[in-house]
Structure 1
Amino acid sequence: MSRFWSQVVRDLTPYVPGEQPKIANLIKLNTNENPYPPSPRVLAAIRGELGDDAARLRLYPDPNADLLKAAVARRHGVTAQQVFVGNGSDEVLAHAFQALLKHDAPILFPDITYSFYPVYCGLYGVAYRTVPLTADFSIDPADYCGQANGGIIFPNPNAPTGRLLALDAIERILAANPDSVVVVDEAYVDFGGDTAIGLVARYDNLLVIHTLSKSRALAGLRVGFAVGHPALIEALERVKNSFNSYPLDRLAIVGAVAALEDEAHFADCCARVVASRERLVGELAGLGFDVLPSAANFIFARHPQRDAAELAGALRDRNIIVRHFKLPRIDQHLRITVGTDDECRALSDALREILA
């Protein structure tokens, strides 16, 4: 701590990202990265943007990223005026907290959810109240209806649980809160859910946020976007242009467009992850784990007879990294990213050895 710190910095409890260890022969199942490479069109687009001498890099990118907004609009059947893009979905979320969720009343989000939400609240001075998940770790829409609030945000599927909320349940929350913005964070929806973007035309209080880090395998490019009513998008643009007019570089823009346009690669990649997830669920269930239903590219599991921290440590000794959260209600669970079939098999074999 320094005497030069502001009170805001003194009071912050920063988000702790998943570990990125530099270990040889590591099986990395802790940060929900896609186990497969992005579309080959991405690299081709980046090479094309660079040209022979990379001279274009001396020029600023398009501050509006119009090519990318148009690609998102085509993909989801909306207009470009309903699309906002940013440097990963985390930046889009940050702008949403400041532009749309900072009101007199507290916002609502689940007690077990993406741990960046309370961090943003601390950074931007947003009051909040957590809503407990049910006993089976699902979101009950009734808990979000009939309450005065400054906004609602939740991931769907939820993280770190992986549980999915049906679209009719989301619509129930929207209809019950017409004067509150409802932000649905769909980072993992492509692995087993239906996007709520189709509801945007009927609900002017809905903002849906996506990332290209997961299902499009572009975590290294940092691209996210939001879809909502043009008035919500304008609010995000006002914050963005008061913070950083150029959040996406030239290579990220063209790479993201190429990824969005390769539907066949996207569908095949998601299908492979889902198939691996179901096999992994079966393997872990056979080893005695309780595994929550998952619609994401990860699973959330606990072993009734073994301590989660000890299991995570034993896996690490075998160069396999999973995520363990030391938080109430979930400190005996492990969040395990779905890797390739070979990686999942190595995980199962290691757990079988540890449990034996």
Structure 2
Amino acid sequence: MSRFWSPLVHRLTPYVAGEQPVVQDLVKLNTNENPYGPSPRAIAAIRAEAGDGLRLYPDPHATILRQAIAVGLGVQADQVFVGNGSDEVLAHAFQGLLNHDGPLLFPDITYSFYPVYCGLYGIAYREIPIDAAMQVDVDDYAGPCGAIILPNPNAPTGSALPLSAIRRLVEAHPDQVVVVDEAYVDFGGESAVPLVADHPNLLVIQTFSKSRSLAGLRVGFAIGQRHLIEALERVKDSFNSYPLDRLAIVGAVASYEDTGWFEETRGRVMASRQRLFEALNELGFEILPSAANFVFARHPAHRGADLAKGLRAQSVIVRHFAKPRIEDFLRISIGTDAQCDRLIAALKTLVA
């Protein structure tokens, strides 16, 4: 606390990011990072750009990146917005599209940055409980509201809704913006981007951090009809005209265009997810179905906090949320098979 803080700062409860510890021989399965490196073409593009040109400002519109994404997704370049990670894109959406008189709706167990943004921008919100099976039911979102944001797949549960359910939600609220946060969609979800053309109230947000292995580069993007994208641009240009630097732009373009590397590495992650699911099941864990690059699991005979602490003692870290309904779950990022084997070996000593 400080007498120099504004009243807003005094009221804020900031988001707590996953740990980034520097520990030798650590198995780090707590922040949903991709265990495989980015496309070699992305690394080469970044190296080539790291020269005298860095004295110049980057393209404030990131034109070549928006064009690459547009070609890949079959949309127009002016229907694409890019920002400094999907968190910044989300922040602009909260400020520019989700701040209305009625409450913003989102699941009660979901990405914990959402209520933080609401506090920052003064947005009233209402959390909609997920069901006993830890699934989102779009019918629970019927009725008046200001706007809706829904992660698909959801985090930290990993559950995914079919495209038909997203369509039903968007069409049930034609006068409200519906944001679908697809940070994990490439690991088994069904993207809502094909719905954008016929639904002026839909904004879809994705990231390069997970399936493209570029969490350290900070690149995210949104797809929507032009009037929604213009709102994000107006917020951006009132905040920071250059959210993506020259290295991020060329690296992201090269990564996006390297579909072979993308398909290979995400396929390996999904195969390891199934392998981990089976190994956890053999140890007696209850595991939710996952369409993300993590699993959400609990053991009926052990507290989640105790398991997380025991794993840490063996240099394996996972994410534990000390929150009602999920306090006994562990969110486990999918690592390499060798990392997952270390995790399972450590868990065997804890649940025996």
Check whether TM > 0.5.
yes
Deviation at 1:310, TM superposition (A): 0.5
Q: 2:210, 2:292 → 1: CA distance?
A: 10
Percent sequence identity over aligned pairs: 65
Alpha-carbon displacement from aligned partner over 1:150-208 (angstroms, at most 9, x marks no partner): 10001100000000011000000001000000000000000001210000001000000
User: What pairs with 1:302-321 in structure 2 (closer than 5 Å)?
Assistant: 302-321=298-317
Corresponding pairs, count: 352
User: What pairs with 1:207-356 in structure 2 (closer than 5 Å)?
Assistant: 207-356=203-352
Q: Which amino acid aligns with 1:92?
A: V
Q: 1:247, 1:27 → 2: CA distance?
A: 32
Deviation at 1:341, TM superposition (A): 0.3
Q: Which amino acid aligns with 1:292?
A: L
TM-score normalised per structure 1: 0.98
Q: Which amino acid aligns with 1:176?
A: A
TM-score normalised per structure 2: 0.99
Q: Which amino acid aligns with 1:74?
A: V
Q: 1:355, 1:302 → 2: CA distance?
A: 11
User: What pairs with 1:69-218 in structure 2 (closer than 5 Å)?
Assistant: 69-145=66-142, 147-218=143-214
Structure 2, unaligned runs of 5 or more: none
Q: 1:194, 1:143 → 2: CA distance?
A: 21
Q: 1:102, 1:27 → 2: CA distance?
A: 40
Alpha-carbon displacement from aligned partner over 1:281-338 (angstroms, at most 9, x marks no partner): 0000100000000000000000000011000000000000000000111001000000
Q: Secondary structure at the match of 1:201?
A: helix
Partner of 2:24: 24
Structure 1, unaligned runs of 5 or more: none
Partner of 1:11: 11
Q: Which amino acid aligns with 1:106?
A: P
Q: 1:136, 1:222 → 2: CA distance?
A: 33
Q: 2:40, 2:243 → 1: CA distance?
A: 24
Q: Secondary structure at the match of 1:173?
A: helix
Q: 1:339, 1:125 → 2: CA distance?
A: 38
Q: Which amino acid aligns with 1:307?
A: R
Q: Secondary structure at the match of 2:197?
A: coil
Q: 1:17, 1:44 → 2: CA distance?
A: 30
Q: Which amino acid aligns with 2:322?
A: K
Whether 1:33 and 2:16 are equivalent positions in the alignment is no
